[in-house]
């Protein structure tokens, strides 16, 4: 098997908060919806199955995700159109949508395909690019950025309170080639109690690296500024976030938009049964806003 291009069957997408997304979008017959982060196609399938003649425009910057979604949704034929692009750079032209859904963060498949380098639990090159057409990788950041800059991204994007000592250890021991090498260096930089705490000592650093590689927070802000203009009056914007940095941006940007009315005073969380069946859903938060008829 070509490890650089694993089969699309490896790209499995369990849609988080699926029923809540469909209800939040108020999917209607003949509607046209934008899935801004199609992944393996889980949310798009639920939308397409909800009502007759529904159409979906499906975006993803990850070529493997697009290939998987095309295969998973092939039975819908021309009702779904695909485009490999970052949702912040998408241009809908004159099209306006009845609803938009964005499921942020990394999919289970991206974590579970070793060569993508998103997980410290699997030995892989330090990559972490969602769009593998871009040049910047996690290895570039770890091996070439200075100690202060590394500490800043670990603290800002990972909310890592030991960011300085971790950055110092990384600079002392670099270069690094693999995810496991980096995870071991991080573990060696922190106190024993911290190393064996509730979450792995590398978790926050890997989150920070992924955000930096893909400029996730900047592109999210751009998307949230643009998305209200892509909606028809009464159209819904549904966003699922997975950590506090994302959720804070979503909450405040939706609230501050003059084109939107926020429908969720507090975020919708997954039910206990969903968390039990899909543990990766446990940190999901869903917010909904509706386009005003201005």
Q: What's the pLDDT at 5?
A: 47
d(CA 126, CA 116): 8
Q: What is the pLDDT of residue 11?
A: 60
Mean pLDDT of 214-221: 96
Is-contact 105 243, C-beta < 8 A? yes
Would you state the pLDDT for residue 109?
63
Mean pLDDT of 76-83: 95
Across the range 106-122, mean pLDDT stands at 73
pLDDT, residue 119, reads: 84
111 membership: H or E segment, kind and range: helix 108-112
pLDDT of residue 8 exceeding 70: no
Coil/strand/helix, residue 142: helix
Q: Using an 8 Å Cβ cutoff, are 27 and 43 in contact?
A: no
> Between 31 and 193, where is the model more confident?
31
What's the CA gap between 245 and 111, in Å, rounded?
20
Q: In the predicted model, what is the mean pLDDT of the chain? A: 92
Instruction: Report d(CA 139, CA 132) in Å as an integer.
Output: 14
Band (pLDDT 50/70/90 cuts) for residue 6 is: very low
Mean pLDDT score, 189-209:
86
What would the mean pLDDT of 187-193 be, rounded to a whole number? 89
Cα(98)–Cα(100) distance, integer angstroms: 7
What is the arithmetic mean of pLDDT over 284-293? 97
Q: Tell me, what's the pLDDT at 294?
A: 78
User: Which of 114-128, 191-205, 215-229 shows the highest mean pLDDT?
Assistant: 215-229
At residue 13, does pLDDT exceed 90?
no
Reported as a single tens digit per residue, the pLDDT across 239-282 is 999 999 999 999 999 999 999 999 999 999 999 999 999 888 99
- Percent of the chain predicted with pLDDT > 70: 93
């Amino acid at each position: 098997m070509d490890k650089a291009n694993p089969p699309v069957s490896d790209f499995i997408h369990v849609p988080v908060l699926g029923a809540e997304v469909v209800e939040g979008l108020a999917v209607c017959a003949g509607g046209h919806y934008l899935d801004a982060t199609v992944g393996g196609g889980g949310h798009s399938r639920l939308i397409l199955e909800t009502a007759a003649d529904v159409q979906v425009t499906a975006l993803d910057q990850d070529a493997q995700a697009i290939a998987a979604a095309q295969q998973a949704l092939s039975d819908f034929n021309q009702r779904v159109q695909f485009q490999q692009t970052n949702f912040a750079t998408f241009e809908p032209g004159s099209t306006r949508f009845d609803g938009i859904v964005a499921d942020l963060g990394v999919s289970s498949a991206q974590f579970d395909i070793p060569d993508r380098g998103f997980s410290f639990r699997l030995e892989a090159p330090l990559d972490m690019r969602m769009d593998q057409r871009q040049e910047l990788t996690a290895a570039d950041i770890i091996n070439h950025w200075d100690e202060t800059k590394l500490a800043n991204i670990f603290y800002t994007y990972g909310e890592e309170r030991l960011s300085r000592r971790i950055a110092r250890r990384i600079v002392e021991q670099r270069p690094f080639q693999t995810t496991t090498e980096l995870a071991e260096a991080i573990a060696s930089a922190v106190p024993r109690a911290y190393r064996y705490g509730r979450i792995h000592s590398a978790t926050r650093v890997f989150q920070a690296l992924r955000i930096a590689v893909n400029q996730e927070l900047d592109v999210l802000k751009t998307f949230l500024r643009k998305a209200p203009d892509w909606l028809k009056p009464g159209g819904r914007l549904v966003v699922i976030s997975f950590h506090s940095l994302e959720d804070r941006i979503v909450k405040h940007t939706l609230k501050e938009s003059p084109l939107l009315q926020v429908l969720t005073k507090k975020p919708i969380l997954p039910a206990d049964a969903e968390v039990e069946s899909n543990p990766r859903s446990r940190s999901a938060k869903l917010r909904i806003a509706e386009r005003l008829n201005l």
